[in-house]
Amino acid sequence: MKKQLLYFLICGYYILPACAQQMKTADFTRAEADISIDPYKKEVSGKVAYFFDVLRPADSLYIDARNMKFDRVMLNGKKTGFYNDGTKLWITGHFKPSEQNKLTFTYRAAPEKAMYFPGWETEGAKKQVWTQGQGRYTSNWLPSFDDVNEKVEFDLTVHFDKNFKVLVNGKLNNIIENDSLNVWSYDMQHPMSSYLLALAIGEYDMIRDFSESGVPVDMYYYPEDKARSEPTYRYTKKIFDVLEKEIGMPFPWQVYKQAPVRDFLHAGMENTTLTLFSDHFMVDSIGYNDMNYLNVNAHELAHQWFGNMVTARSGEHHWLQEGFATYYALLAEKAVFGEDHYYWKLYRSAQTLIEWSKDGEGEAVLNPKAGSLTFYEKGAFVLYILRDKIGDSAFRKGVRQYLEKYKFGNAVTSELMKEMEFASGKDLSAFTDRWLRDTVFPAEEALASLKKSNFIRTYMALKDGEITQKEREKLLHSDIYYPVKQEIVFQKNADTVDVEWNRKWFRSGDLKTRQALALSIDTIPQELKTAFESLLADRSYITAENALIKLWVNFPENAPAYLEKTKNIAGFARKNIRMLWLALAMSAPAYPTGTETDVFRAKNRWKEELEGYTSPRYAYEVRQNAFGMLYQMGLLHGEVLKNLIRACVHHTWGFARDSRNMLKSLLKSEEYTREVRELMPKFGEKEKAFLEGVMAVEQIDRD
């Protein structure tokens, strides 16, 4: 009863005013956290010290802490009143204006989100621990602040198995080596929002480089991915130097680190000084030609200024982070790939935004509930148009003044626009209304601006049918940027396949033109068979994958030769070509050669390999691909079905959603329903709860 009464008093009297006014009452300036992580129990515990100033009298203060247990709560060295309501640690008392107060406590948590432990439950899997604060709340694993406006200097010390590397925000001060555990201590020099706090633990090697300004740039990779490290991190130093020069302000932190992690929730996350990114971006020199890390690399690096150093005050101004990061990533790509590439990406973005707005689904950039397309793509286009309107010099000056004025703090859109007006001497109120407040994307103005690019003018004329056949041939022989050449190929092969014309461009040797041929021709004329077969050896996994499946369909009698030629190609990290190969090899009647027993054993071995890729030992992208292949082949039984059910409760929502949809499709069959019921006792509580819900719904649907 006393506990309930205390809770009532805190909730009824303290919480509402404190939540609204805490930043006016107290300023938390620094945190020292010494934590230990048990990956097998999925627990984190430790001791934390917060330093803060009291700005005006108060009866309570809080720290966000979700589902944690606390002990030894001390204020300035003395026991203090506290209460844990399940979401916050409340410190009660009579706080008077004062400086450098110290709050210490020990805590324990078993985070259900924000800290993830892939691999520790599965033999042979890659074992990691990593965090994701944005959208998940760091307060699930470390008592901190969910309010982005409360900025704290975090200095973390982490105890963990000595066989793993521990990466945390800031500069590594030292490592104390013990028999089984090492102690890693990191130091930050400036404050940041809690959602940018990060930790990654795994088996890593590292490449170190330095920017022109002397900032250490550490690039981590898995030991087995050494050959992929250079293509993945290609141009990283150049990107860093370009952004420092373009932004006009030195990198604001002591060091910059990047590390891949398995089963990540996003492409990348710009944690202060420690970007984490999905390991499917680790590519070899062939994969680099189709898909590379460069844009994500530049985007997350730009966030170190836009979002990390200067943080949007609220969701309404989120574009100040994502729009800027997207735009400056384009500028970095422009420095690497050229001006035509820059305009091509802007044009594609504009086309998406125009179609979206045309369908009545447009959003204002200043809508706090807007989606990623608005915050990222439309936000970046706003900056492109703004720069065009006020000129390079004024734009750079305005950005520099904005960052300088609000560094290590928070800002809103009006404060940015004020600096832009001051730098340019122009009234930008009409611009703000048109580009930031209006839901409609100004298509005519956007396309008119892009037409300053000769390449874009040519591409648009080609799409509109304004380029003659003679001019098209001339363009194919020119050095114009590849989308024009690909569009010519797509248009040419849209109805019929001109053998002689296509044969000529197969011989061109141009990777992107040949890729367009692979994508645009479905029915392969006999006369182009040899030319099409040459695509299997192109340095493009997209080209090779499309060539293999189309050759298989058009010339099944040659399937053994195609399988022999591609049997050692894995493809991207998701093993796209290897899995296609396995499915085709299992289906091929004349492959492999040998006795009936040899053939049976080979096909069974390939089946086991494909089924094995559904295991939690592999990244979710690999598993997702394998499930898709096996679903089409009707082979989702036994251990594979168990793996699919486990995938339905995976922490990566997109993977879990697709797995659930696949399972629901299977459950329309009585055979699968019986098999799933037989498997239920073999699962943990999480999987059982999910299955019981799904089975109940399916039963209702059948009834």
277 belongs to a structural domain: yes
**pLDDT tens per residue, range 239-260:** 999 999 999 999 999 999 999 9
**Residue positions counted in the chain:** 703
**Separation between Cα atoms, residue 338 and residue 525, nearest integer Å:** 37
pLDDT value at residue 10? 40
Separation of first and last alpha carbons in the chain: 48
454 vs 457: CA distance, rounded Å:
5
Q: Is the pLDDT of residue 13 over 50?
A: no
**How sure is the predictor about 357, in pLDDT bands with cuts at 50, 70 and 90?**
confident
- 319/379 Cα distance (integer angstroms): 6
Distance (Å, whole) CA 563 – CA 585: 7
* Count of domains for the chain: 4
Q: Are 383 and 323 in contact (CB under 8 A)?
A: yes
Could you give the CA distance from residue 275 to residue 301 in angstroms, rounded to a whole number? Answer: 8
Instruction: Give the domain-ending residue among 304, 332, 360.
Output: 304
Q: Is residue 528 part of a domain?
A: yes
The domain in which residue 239 lies consists of 223-304
Q: Let me know whether 441 and 530 are in one domain.
A: no
Task: State the CATH number of the domain containing residue 282.
Answer: 3.30.2010.30
Q: pLDDT digit string (tens) for 493-511?
A: 998 999 999 999 999 999 9
CATH number at residue 363: 1.10.390.10
Mean pLDDT of all residues in 367-381: 97
Q: What is the pLDDT of residues 538-564, one digit of tens each?
A: 999 999 999 999 999 999 999 999 999
How far, in Å, are 130, 157, 279 from residue 200 at the CA level? Answer: 4, 13, 13
Whether residue 212 has pLDDT greater than 60: yes
d(CA 143, CA 397): 39
pLDDT band at 12 (very low <50, low <70, confident <90, very high): very low
Tell me: do 381 and 232 sit in the same domain.
no
Sequence-ordered strand ranges (E) for 354-483: 409-411
d(CA 123, CA 622): 17
Looking at the structure, tell me whether residues 255 and 376 fall in a common domain: no
**Domain check: are 250 and 154 in the same one?**
no
What tokens does 653 get? 């929502």
* Number of Cβ atoms within 10 Å of the Cβ of 57: 10
Q: What is the pLDDT averaged over residues 516-536?
A: 98
Does some domain include residue 701?
no
Q: Of 549, 548, 494, nearest to 516 (Cα)?
A: 494
Asked if residue 185 and residue 50 are part of one domain, the reply reads: yes
Q: Is 631 exposed, middle or buried (0-12, 13-18, 19+ CB in 10 A)?
A: middle
Give dist(CA 208, CA 145) in Å, integer.
Answer: 33
pLDDT band at 354 (very low <50, low <70, confident <90, very high): very high
Q: What pLDDT band is residue 536 in, cutting at 50, 70 and 90?
A: very high
Same structural domain for residues 233 and 194?
Answer: no
> Is residue 168 domain-shared with residue 258, that is, in the same domain?
no
- Residue identified by tokens 């026991």 is 79
What confidence score (pLDDT) does residue 587 get? 94
When pLDDT is cut at 50, 70 and 90, the band that residue 658 belongs to is very high
CATH number assigned to the domain comprising residue 175: 2.60.40.1730
Domain for residue 657, yes or no? no
Q: Which helix (H) or strand (E) holds 220?
A: strand 216-221
Q: 168 and 48, same structural domain? A: yes
Statement to judge: residues 35 and 96 lie in one domain? yes
pTM of the full predicted structure? 0.94
pLDDT of residue 358: 82
CA-nearest of 556, 487, 571, 500 to 531 is: 500
Assigned domain for 658 exists: no
Please tell me whether residues 27 and 168 are part of one structural domain: yes
Residue 315 has pLDDT above 70, yes or no: yes
Amino acid residing at 398: G
**Residue 586 counted as domain residue:** yes
Residue 650: inside a domain: no
Beta bridge partners of 186: 172
507/633 same-domain check: yes
Q: Do 433 and 527 fall within a single domain?
A: no
Is 684 within a domain?
Answer: no
Task: Give the residue from 642, 663, 681 where a domain finishes.
Answer: 642
